[in-house]
Amino acid sequence: MENTLNPPQKPRPDWLLLAALGGLMIFGLTFVLSATQVNELFSGAPWYRQPFFKMIIFYAFGITAAGLLCLKDYYQIARYAFVGYWICIVMLVIVLIPGIGAVRYGARRWFDLGIMQFQPSELAKIAFLLALAQFLSRPRDELRQPDTLLKGIGLTLLPFGLILMEPDLGSSLMLLPAAFAMFYVAGVPAGFLKKVAGGMTCFIAACLIYVFFVPQAWKPVQLPDYQKRRLMVYFGIDYTTQYAKPNATPTELRRVKAMQRRDSYNVAQAMISVGSGGLTGKGWAQGIQNAHGYLPRGVSHNDFIFSVIAEESGFIGSAMVVVLYTGVFLCGIRVAGQARDRLGRLLAVGVVVMLFSHVFVNIGMNIRLVPVTGVPLPLLSYGGTSIVCSLLALGLLQNIQLHQRSI
């Protein structure tokens, strides 16, 4: 269909996508500033150590890296996908070794690089997307063969398992929807996908039954207690049914109740933040929840940044964030639709669904739609690795857009 008489159109970046990202970054900077300026931990620090400034650096670094990523055709980048994948797998193994991986909040997830902390699972997500896209971009007929499909599943479960062992349930779960969507779009037979989906549903149901209904003594493997408690908070289960013996003394009951209050505190305060924002919000830096410490200072500028946005800018602001993300995702789907080959198409879908999962889980936990998991809100949460990796993934998306016509 191409008109060879006309010169091929010069590839253009997706301006709509860039505008939406710009809007999100402005949101991020504005409200991280609001969330941290009242924080005593930061208010005394020099300007170059303020989260606001560091966030600008992260953005600049991420945009530069993403720009560099666009110089090379994604096709050439994908050649190294498995090299990157295995490097990441090795890093995920190393980070588990005590003494090398740094422990924070009871989980071994970080490499301490002195000036900054690096979370290999974030980078692994991108490497995984590239590798799976590369793997699934083979001719459709091969995808009908069970051993190919099993290899694809193995490719997914390896990083999933390693991240789960850190333990970081939230991050590891982020891989699954992306993988599923990529399998689906790649054209894997529907019957096979149904089996996978059914298997996953059964697995989750079995897990929940295992956690809540199997007596403690019978369990060979324990889910980390905090995960269980988060699930109980999410489902609104009274702690006394699980943690107190039937003949518990009032003191014990009080202790268990206090534990429940403590555990559900973040969610309860996040809900109050979001809900009390109302339609128009309380105005920038006027959020009571954040300013007066009800929303814990440690999380208000990263995992719970959305609460601050929702409280201070109201439904108008939070709807705007949702609309901007939706714009990003739809642009990504369009990139996938216009990609010149299956690799680009699968990679774009993977990036979009991965980002979507983060957004959905993070915003969802603020309104108790999903349980609390430590998943950052891409581009808005303060956190170097998350911001840079999100921008890298979006850089891949731009790359597919830019190189959709050249061979």
Partner 1 sequence: MPPTDMVVFDQIRRKDYRLGSVAVFLLVAMGVLMAGLWYVQIFSSSQYIESQRNQSMRTVRIPSVRGKIFDQHGRILAEDKPAYNLSAYLEELRPHFRKAWRENRPKRKLNAEESLQLQIQTRYQVVSNFISRARLNLPLGVNAGEIQQHFSELRALPLPVLKNLDPANVARFMELSDRIPGFDIQAWPTRHYPEISVAHLVGHLKKDNTSEEESTAYNYRLPDFRGMIGLEQTFDDKLRGQPGTRSMLVNHLGYRQSENLEVPTQPGSHVHLTLDLEIQKVAYDAMKASGHKAGAAVVMDVNNGDLIALTSMPVFDPNDFIPAINPQKWAQYRDARPSPLLFRATQERYPPGSIFKIISGLAALESGVVNTNNFMYNPGHYRLGRRNIDDTAPAGDYNFKKAFKYSSNTYFIHHGLSCGIEQIVQMGNQFFLGQRTGLLPRQEVAGQFPTLGEVRNGWRDGDTANIAIGQGRITVTPLQMGIMTAAVANGGRVFWPRLVARVEPADPDAFTDAMTFPQGRIRGQLRVTPRNLVAVQHAMWADVHEEGGTGKRAMIDDYAVCGKTGTAEIRGGGRRDKITWFSSYAPYKQPRYAVVIMIESGVSGGKTCAPIAKKIFEALRDRDRRSPRTPLANN
Which residues 6+ apart lie within 8 Å of 16 measured at CB? 327, 331
User: Shortest distance, CB of residue 117 to partner 1, whole angstroms?
Assistant: 27
Task: Compute the distance between CA of residue 367 and CA of residue 272 in angstroms, rounded to an integer.
Answer: 9
> For residue 228, how many C-alpha atoms fall within 13 Å in the half-sphere facing its CB?
17
Q: Which is nearer to partner 1, 242 or 404 (CB)?
A: 404
**Is residue 87 near partner 1 by the rule CB under 8 A?**
no
The token pair at 370 is 């999903």
Q: Which is nearer to partner 1, 260 or 385 (CB)?
A: 260
Instruction: Please tell me whether residue 166 adopts helix, strand or coil conformation.
Output: coil
Interface with partner 1 (CB under 8 A), residue from 333, 340, 341, 404: 333
Contact letters (x/-) for partner 1, 338-357, by CB under 8 A? -------x---x--xx--x-
User: Shortest distance, CB of residue 16 to partner 1, whole angstroms?
Assistant: 7
Closest to 404 (Cα-Cα) out of 80, 74, 81: 74
Q: Which element (helix H / strand E) includes 112?
A: strand 107-112
Q: Which is nearer to partner 1, 95 or 181 (CB)?
A: 181
Interface with partner 1 (CB under 8 A), residue from 315, 340, 342, 404: 315
The token pair at 359 is 């957004």
Interface with partner 1 (CB under 8 A), residue from 286, 326, 405, 406: 326
Total residues at interface with partner 1 (CB under 8 A): 46
Contact letters (x/-) for partner 1, 259-298, by CB under 8 A? ------------xx-xxxxxx--------xx-xxxx----
Which residues 6+ apart lie within 8 Å of 50 measured at CB? 36, 42
**Is residue 56 near partner 1 by the rule CB under 8 A?**
no
Interface with partner 1 (CB under 8 A), residue from 157, 237, 285, 322: 322
User: Shortest distance, CB of residue 186 to partner 1, whole angstroms?
Assistant: 9
Contact range with partner 1 by CB under 8 A, out of 73-81, 90-98, 144-152, 314-322: 314-322
User: Shortest distance, CB of residue 272 to partner 1, whole angstroms?
Assistant: 5
Instruction: Please tell me whether residue 285 adopts helix, strand or coil conformation.
Output: coil
| Distances from the Cα of 333 to the Cα of 72, 156, 341, 401, angstroms | 21, 22, 14, 11
Contact letters (x/-) for partner 1, 158-187, by CB under 8 A? -----------------------x--xx-x
Strand 117-118, strand 101-104: pairing: unpaired
Maximum Cα interatomic distance, the chain, rounded to a whole number of Å: 87
Task: Compute the distance between CA of residue 73 and CA of residue 404 in angstroms, rounded to an integer.
Answer: 9
CB 375 within 8 A of CB 362: yes
The DSSP letter of residue 144 is G
Q: Which is nearer to partner 1, 276 or 404 (CB)?
A: 276
**Is residue 327 near partner 1 by the rule CB under 8 A?**
yes
Q: Which is nearer to partner 1, 18 or 288 (CB)?
A: 288
**Is residue 201 near partner 1 by the rule CB under 8 A?**
no
The token pair at 46 is 């020099």
Interface with partner 1 (CB under 8 A), residue from 120, 314, 374, 378: 314
**Is residue 16 near partner 1 by the rule CB under 8 A?**
yes
**Is residue 318 near partner 1 by the rule CB under 8 A?**
yes
Strand order in the sheet with 107-112: 101-104, 107-112, 117-118
Q: Which is nearer to partner 1, 123 or 380 (CB)?
A: 380
Burial class, 98, CB count within 10 angstroms (exposed 0-12 / middle 13-18 / buried 19+): exposed
User: Shortest distance, CB of residue 179 to partner 1, whole angstroms?
Assistant: 13
Closest to 287 (Cα-Cα) out of 274, 302, 303: 274
Interface with partner 1 (CB under 8 A), residue from 96, 330, 340, 341: 330
CB 347 within 8 A of CB 269: no
Interface with partner 1 (CB under 8 A), residue from 124, 129, 232, 331: 331
User: Shortest distance, CB of residue 325 to partner 1, whole angstroms?
Assistant: 7
Residue tagged 């009800």 (tokens): 294
Interface with partner 1 (CB under 8 A), residue from 329, 382, 397, 399: 329
Give one DSSP letter per residue of 313-358, joined into a string: HHHHHHHHHHHHHHHHHHHHHHHHHH-SSHHHHHHHHHHHHHHHHH
Question: Footprint of partner 1 on this chain (CB under 8 A)?
Answer: 16, 181, 184-185, 187, 271-272, 274-279, 288-289, 291-294, 310, 314-315, 318-319, 322, 325-327, 329-331, 333-334, 336-337, 345, 349, 352-353, 356, 359-360, 363-364, 367, 369
